């Protein structure tokens, strides 16, 4: 099956990050450090692995630090060159997004994820595109978006990352009605935003990785806002589902919600333990904490 290549990805980064205050009072939550690099760099690297060429940040006031992180820091580069710090120089250069490949657009008013995606309409044009939520980190090999891209290249249409959640927690997520799984893939029949457990069609939820067709923009533009006037991406996708195929990919890996304090700490531990250069020391530290806690209890 021939499908149009997915070249562009949208990163909604306009949120205030209130669940992580006061750390996010003057720093974008996307710039908080997960091990040794900001959250936003982790997801940009995930997108690069999946073949993304153009990176679109939907920003708001106070988010310029994100753009600057991916810019070339000439003074830092010259200093590292002069001091012969070639290993650090390689890391710094590797964090850049090349000229002409980083784009920004503003979401002036926080009107929901669907509205944030719609803000990228003119930069996407008439192409399929990916959406990545930077506060939802997925520890996996290959990366979560790469797994979705493999499905898209085979099936076309729209592809969503999904995970199985406890039934009592379905009201926190967009929930899918799906055909029986074939391996890790399922055709999506319907979706509903944050249903009560007794009304949920399944326990398979949408998580923060999407591949969407450009027809979603016209739907989002004409969608009426729900609670607080927000335009929900799930509602827009539910409308597009009436016309186009959607597939759910039960990705391999584990998702961490870095938009809250516990999830952020958990992700730092998990990503540290997954690194060969840090595993042993972090594991020993955790064992010492457990031992101390036992002695104090």
Does the residue 296 lie in any domain? no
What is the C-alpha to C-alpha distance for residues 6 and 270, in angstroms, rounded to an integer? 30
Angle at 191 between CA 258 and CA 210, to 5 degrees: 45
Does the residue 76 lie in any domain? yes
Please answer whether residues 197 and 175 qualify as being in contact, where contact means their C-beta atoms are separated by less than 8 angstroms.
Answer: no
What is the C-alpha to C-alpha distance for residues 112 and 217, in angstroms, rounded to an integer? 14
For the stretch 66-70, contacts whose Cβ atoms lie closer than 8 Å and that sit 24 or more positions apart, written own/partner, are 66/13, 66/28, 66/30, 66/31, 66/40, 67/102, 67/104, 69/31, 69/38, 69/40, 69/41, 69/95, 70/41, 70/44, 70/95, 70/96, 70/97, 70/102
What is the C-alpha to C-alpha distance for residues 20 and 261, in angstroms, rounded to an integer? 6
Does the residue 198 lie in any domain? yes
Please answer whether residues 54 and 8 qualify as being in contact, where contact means their C-beta atoms are separated by less than 8 angstroms.
Answer: yes
Indicate the SS3 state at residue 183: coil
pLDDT at 61: 86
Alpha helices (H) in the chain, listed in sequence order: 39-49, 64-69, 74-82, 86-94, 113-118, 121-124, 144-155, 216-221, 233-240, 261-273, 279-296
- CATH no. for residue 254? 3.90.550.10
Does the residue 280 lie in any domain? no
Domain of 130 in residue numbering reads as 8-259
User: Distance between alpha carbon 1 and the CA centroid of its chain, in Å?
Assistant: 27
Angle at 131 between CA 275 and CA 257, to 5 degrees: 50
Please answer whether residues 248 and 178 qualify as being in contact, where contact means their C-beta atoms are separated by less than 8 angstroms.
Answer: yes
- Bridge partners of residue 133, in order along the sequence: none
Query: CB neighbours (10 Å) of residue 285?
Result: 13
Digitized pLDDT (tens) for each residue of the chain, 297 residues in all: 458 999 999 999 998 888 888 888 888 899 999 999 999 999 999 999 999 999 999 998 888 999 999 999 999 999 999 999 999 998 989 889 999 999 999 998 888 999 999 999 999 999 999 999 999 999 999 999 999 999 999 999 999 999 999 999 999 888 999 999 999 999 999 998 888 999 899 999 999 999 999 999 999 999 887 667 789 999 999 999 999 999 999 999 999 999 999 999 999 999 999 999 999 999 999 888 887 665 555
Q: Phi-psi bin for 62: left (phi > 0), alpha (psi -120 to 50), beta?
A: left
Report which of 118, 129, 137, 127 is spatially closest to residue 58, judged by C-alpha positions. Answer: 118
Does the residue 82 lie in any domain? yes
Does the residue 71 lie in any domain? yes
Cα dihedral: 288, 290, 291, 297 (round 10): 140
Does the residue 3 lie in any domain? no
Please answer whether residues 147 and 163 qualify as being in contact, where contact means their C-beta atoms are separated by less than 8 angstroms.
Answer: no
Angle at 276 between CA 274 and CA 277, to 5 degrees: 115
Does the residue 156 lie in any domain? yes
What is the C-alpha to C-alpha distance for residues 259 and 24, in angstroms, rounded to an integer? 11
Q: Which residues contact 47 (CB under 8 A, 6 or more apart)?
A: 9, 55, 130, 132, 145
Domain count, the chain: 1
């Amino acid at each position: 099956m021939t499908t149009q290549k997915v070249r562009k990805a949208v990163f909604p980064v306009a949120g205030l990050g209130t669940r992580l205050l006061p750390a996010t009072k003057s720093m974008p939550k996307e710039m908080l450090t997960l091990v040794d690099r900001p959250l936003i760099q982790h997801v940009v690297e995930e997108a690069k692995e999946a073949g993304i060429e153009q990176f679109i940040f939907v920003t708001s006031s106070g988010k310029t630090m994100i753009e600057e992180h991916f810019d070339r820091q000439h003074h830092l580069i010259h200093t590292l060159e002069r001091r012969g710090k070639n290993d650090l120089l390689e890391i710094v250069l590797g964090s850049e997004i090349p000229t002409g490949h980083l784009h920004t657009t503003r979401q002036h008013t926080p009107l929901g994820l669907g509205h944030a995606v719609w803000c990228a309409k003119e930069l996407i044009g008439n192409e399929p595109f990916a959406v990545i939520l930077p506060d939802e980190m997925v520890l996996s090999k290959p990366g979560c978006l790469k797994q979705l891209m493999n499905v898209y290249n085979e099936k076309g249409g729209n592809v969503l990352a999904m995970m199985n959640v406890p039934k009592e927690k379905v009201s926190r997520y967009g929930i899918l009605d799906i055909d029986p799984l074939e391996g890790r893939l399922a055709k999506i029949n319907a979706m509903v935003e944050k249903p009560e457990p007794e009304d949920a069609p399944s326990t398979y939820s949408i998580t923060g990785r999407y591949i969407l067709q450009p027809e979603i923009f016209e739907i989002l533009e004409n969608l009426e806002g729900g609670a607080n006037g927000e335009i929900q991406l799930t509602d827009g996708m539910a409308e597009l589902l009436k016309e186009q195929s959607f597939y759910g990919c039960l990705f391999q890996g584990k998702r961490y919600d870095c938009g809250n304090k516990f999830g952020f700490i958990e992700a730092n531990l998990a990503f540290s333990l997954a690194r060969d250069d840090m595993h042993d020391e972090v594991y020993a530290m955790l064992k010492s904490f457990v031992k101390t806690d036992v002695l104090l209890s």
